[in-house]
Copies of this chain bind each other. A is one copy, B any other.
Amino acid sequence: MAASPLLPKTRAFLWKKDKLLLLDQRLLPHKSVWRTCRTWQEVAGGIHDMVVRGAPAIGCVAAYGAVLAARRKALPKGFDGLLKARPTAVNLRWALERMRKVWEQGGNLEHEAIAIEQEDREANRRMGEYGASLVASGATLMTHCNTGSLATAGLGTAFGVLWMASRQGKLKKVLATETRPYLQGARLTAWELKNEHIPFELITDSMAAHLMKTEKVDAIFVGADRIAANGDTANKIGTYALAVLAAHHQIPFYVVAPMSTVDLYTATGDRIPIEERRIEEVVMMGGRRLAPHGIKARHPAFDVTPAGLITGIVTDRGIARPPYIDSLAFLIKDTRPALTDAAA
């Protein structure tokens, strides 16, 4: 029998039968403010404005958005509106396609949304266990962005691996990048690591290479927003840099994501749309301007890490190894119970 999914201390969203509550992550770690969404437009706005972020969380939240849309007879329009909220994360499309299928068949949308959430929580647990099996005792692990309970329905993707390794007594410490420009690492991951009593040090993105060279970094675990059929992985801007640096320092580099993040319809990474966000998110911080007025800046929110730089992809169905074109296709078709269950 499968172990019951572990519940995190933090929740990014809460479904309350007739409304969806979103924890406003833009205000963390200073304030915990819940935003109430009663319409799909409010949900789409929350996704677009990054009240909620993290590919798996966005998928769950969009599913509840579809439930709210159905109650106001706003489907199928609501599907399209929710889909457009953010372009890169494929979980959004995946969740909405599931919801659309149920809607077309006249099924129970609320049940489906709850199932998506519960499956994500269970997937988190499995990824945590698979990923922790890759971690040796006394390990120093590096991570990027936020991939914990604020980014998912459960313990997280890459964060779940850190959590599980910590609970198994194998973790020495985490090096967490602050993740400019949105500071998901400094604001969210640091907050979750602190709440979970996992030892860590916060670093700027620019320090990662120096610490790979001067300290022992045993492995790097990151999340994903979309994984192409060949294993190329879109994730938060800065991930690609870490992968190149990891290869240079011969440090294993793992992507952790549920199978819902794998997009077999996208052949390679260069077909993944990269969201360009407002430059105010780069030149401003907390309402304060960092740079001079009237300048140009860039804000690609994601980058693509080629499969060749990825040591393994930890999914809820097992660990895919190169060549990913084969291993990912195998895992996605494999409907046998996951290995951890089979062994139980």
Contacts and interface: CB of A to CB of B under 8 A. Distances in A.
A300 interface: yes
Interface in A228-261: 237-238, 240-241, 244-245, 247-248
A244 B251 CA distance: 14
Contacts of A286: 285, 288
Interface in A16-61: 29-30
A99 to B, nearest CB: 32
A240 to B, nearest CB: 5
A179 to B, nearest CB: 7
B210 A290 contact: no
Contacts of A206: 177, 179-180, 205, 237-238, 241
Chain A, interface size: which category? 35 or more
A3 interface: no
A294 interface: yes
Contact of A186 (B179, B248, B283): B283
A133 to B, nearest CB: 27
A191 B204 CA distance: 22
A257 B237 CA distance: 31
Interface in A207-239: 207-211, 213, 237-238
Contacts of A238: 204-207, 209
10 contacts: A178-B290, A180-B206, A186-B291, A194-B292, A199-B296, A200-B295, A204-B205, A210-B237, A244-B245, A244-B248
